[in-house]
Structure 1
Amino acid sequence: MRDLAREFAHQGHELTVLLPSYDTLNYWELEDRDGVRILRLSAPKTKDVGYVRRTIGEWLMPYWMARNLRKSPLAQSKWDGVIWYSPSIFHGPLVRRLKRESGCKSYLIIRDIFPEWALDLGLMRKGPAYHFFKVIARGQYDAADVIGVQSEGNLSYFEYWTRGAMGRQLEILQNWLSPPANAKCSLDISSTSLAGRKILVYAGNMGVAQGLDVIVALADRMRNRRDVGFLFVGRGSETARLEQMSRDLALDNILFQPEIDPDEIPSLYEQCAIGIVALDARHKSHNIPGKFLTYMQNGLPALAVVNAGNDLASLISKEGVGRACETRDLDQLECLCSDLIAEMNGDLAMRGRCKSLFLNRFSAEHAVRQITSALAT
């Protein structure tokens, strides 16, 4: 969202970002950054708390934000359009209020279809909690005039929504990134236990939705290849368990490191050979993760382990930018990984294909033009 906001400003739009913040000292705080006006509105805490408290906090969030917006210097502002991002699924009431007061259209950017993905992963059953979240999500969808999903495979889920009212527009809005700042990476792989190896890197959240056990198991399979190493950079609910799994297997070809500043990512990837994408096999929706974009942007081919039928697998195959495994079969995954390493050694154009794919499909410039065009029609 930072990249999108910067690009809106770069293209000459006057953008205001409304953010919930639990640690503001006042009802609101106003600042300007990178040509963007940012209004932080006091709201309940929703991070690093239990699920029940988080749910209550997110449900109250849009109402608190609307109340505190009325107390801010922007209380009487009129907007030409409202753009918001899901997750969270709870912004519907605030969006409806902004639309009503300004008489404008709204654009919803969908990146996770919740609670569907939680149901797929077995984190939730079709009980009261599921139906509660379903009602909230549908209320959010009904607040939108345009919905942008990130993959063709997700269009069918919203077909019912397009029939719900005249003028609704459903389209594919590819994920995006802006050119990164290239700060020197604080992690020097040449000074670690993986020095001298071809590095397969995973940088990002290590949670239930990623299903990273299979990558640790792959590292176990490839422990005798002294030319290959696996690097995990980031944090998440599964990090400690994955580290323990690595220790139990006595793996010396795998290294875990804490998250780094996003501006250090290009410098990190310069030290690596392949980027890892992992999605839990129980996913049924389609997802092109942001980390895949960062790999492409920096010329790293991808080794992807995804749910069967995921659009990402066909994209990787069609564009020749890596290998994708749609099962959890370790024999197949090990074979694909070895094939990719061998191909990289002989195909010097692969890194160029990765960068070209990013520039042609995943730029923030293209995303801003598509959103503004949809709001103007």
Structure 2
Amino acid sequence: MNILFLTISRIQDIDSRDIYTDLIRKFRNEGHLVYVVTPYERQFGLQTALTESKGVYILGVRTLNLQKTNIIEKGIGTILLETQFNKAIKKHLNSVTFDLILYSTPPITFTNVVKNLKKKNPQAISYLLLKDIFPQNAVDLGMFSKNSLFYWYFRKKETHLYRHSDYIGCMSPANVEFVIRHNTFIPPERVEVAPNSIELSPSPFSSDKTKIRKKYHLPKDKLVFIYGGNLGKPQGISFLIQCLNVNKQRNDCHFLIVGNGTEYPKLKSWFDNTKPQNISLFSGLPKEEYDELVQSCDIGLIFLDYRFQIPNYPSRLLSYLKYKMPIIAATDVNTDIGTIAEKNGYGYWCESNSTAHFTECINKFIQYPESIKKMGEKGYQFLLNNYLIENTYQKIIAHIKV
């Protein structure tokens, strides 16, 4: 089949490892011809162009900056995406007939792109990989209200995108329930769980944990709790700082924070002023170095802002499970990432408005260190059963097999 994948993720190297490139390679390896449309943000100085990389065609579209930029440019750039993508597809891919149109949120402004592609390819199946429920998440974080023009505009875009999607793949059961409950015009049979998933590398485990810890100046004889990933408003960094502050005097464990984002300066300022002895803070690392660092730790941490009414499901969970690490999920009450972890025995959940509850979760691992390996194995098995790329591929392909 000819498959088109629309994304705002910057995709250049098909062999890089993340939830999207893993899926692209899976389709390619199964014999399909894949075309990817990805932004070339102006900060990189690239012009719109169609290239081929290892059996995959990549159409890079010059856009405004969409990531690591101010909110005004990001907003304008997001609105302009439809026009820019439509123009580039018409110019470079007009002669291609597509059988499957895949696209992910964010953003929700692909509506007219999908509509035009469906009109030109009436036989094609359109499949939305729903990774972000916008604009409700912006309302939850107080960025604008439901009475604003921003909400009206983006909510209209969201509902139109759902209407033009033959199927919607959600990250978890709570996501499926949320989408159906808040969008009653969608037939429930069109919404399903198609979770974040990865391809396991051939040798995911390092044999020298001590050497890695020495390299990053981590204690070799204490439990290390790691938070890795984006440090932005959705992660509730103020609560993360509160949790670290409450536990900064401990000498029975170590906390490691690795990442970057809009809230990183706030965390860095607290770290520099407090100078905690049992906490390490690194800005973002290359993926290979980050993976090396993660597997030297013991327990993975997940944080989400308590105000969320939408059920987020962060993909950083996958790297923890891949390296057989149990988790602590400090989140709002609407996501099911923590309850799924507890139900399946690979982690603990606490609400992200109680440092006492978070500390209780820390103490469980300190008091019962023998449980860590067992819980990590359960998490790894859950990954094998639910979060491998094969699972998501089969969910999508089942709708278009003849």
Secondary structure in 2 matching 1:15? strand
Deviation per CA, 1:128-147, whole angstroms, max 9, x where unpaired?
A: 11111111212221221111
Whether 2:275 is the aligned partner of 1:274: answer: no
Whether 2:46 is the aligned partner of 1:30: answer: no
Q: Percent identity?
A: 24
The alpha carbon displacement at 1:273 in A equals 0.6
The alpha carbon displacement at 1:346 in A equals 4.5
The alpha carbon displacement at 1:340 in A equals 2.2
The one-letter amino acid paired with 2:169 is G
The alpha carbon displacement at 1:216 in A equals 2.9
The one-letter amino acid paired with 2:214 is S
Number of aligned pairs? 374
Whether 2:207 is the aligned partner of 1:207: answer: no
- Select which of 113, 118, 121 maps to 1:102: 121
The alpha carbon displacement at 1:342 in A equals 2.8
In structure 2, the residue matched to 1:135 is: 156
Whether 2:95 is the aligned partner of 1:76: answer: yes
| 1:1-377 to 2 correspondences below 5 Å | 1-23=20-42, 25-33=46-54, 35-72=55-92, 74-103=93-122, 104-126=124-146, 127-159=148-180, 164=185, 169-180=190-201, 188-196=212-220, 197-346=222-371, 348-376=373-401
The alpha carbon displacement at 1:374 in A equals 2.3
Which stretch of structure 1 is more off in the superposition, 299-308 or 211-220? 211-220
Which stretch of structure 1 is more off in the superposition, 212-221 or 324-333? 212-221
Whether contact under 8 Å (1:202, 1:231) holds in the other structure is yes
The alpha carbon displacement at 1:229 in A equals 1.0
Whether contact under 8 Å (1:22, 1:45) holds in the other structure is yes
Task: Please give the TM-score of this superposition, normalised by the length of structure 1.
Answer: 0.91
Secondary structure in 1 matching 2:332? coil
Which stretch of structure 1 is more off in the superposition, 153-162 or 111-120? 153-162
Deviation per CA, 1:339-359, whole angstroms, max 9, x where unpaired?
A: 023333345322211110101
Give the whole-Å Cα distance in 2 for the aligned partners of 1:29 and 1:258. 33
Q: In structure 1, list runs of 5 or more residues that go unmatched.
A: none
The one-letter amino acid paired with 2:293 is L
The alpha carbon displacement at 1:328 in A equals 1.9
Give the whole-Å Cα distance in 2 for the aligned partners of 1:153 and 1:277. 17
Question: Aligned in 2, Cα 1:93/1:183: closer, same or farther, shift over 3 Å?
Answer: farther
The alpha carbon displacement at 1:210 in A equals 0.2
Give the whole-Å Cα distance in 2 for the aligned partners of 1:346 and 1:53. 48
Deviation per CA, 1:201-249, whole angstroms, max 9, x where unpaired?
A: 1111000110133333323333333231111111001111112122333
Whether contact under 8 Å (1:275, 1:300) holds in the other structure is yes
The one-letter amino acid paired with 1:9 is R
Whether contact under 8 Å (2:365, 2:371) holds in the other structure is no
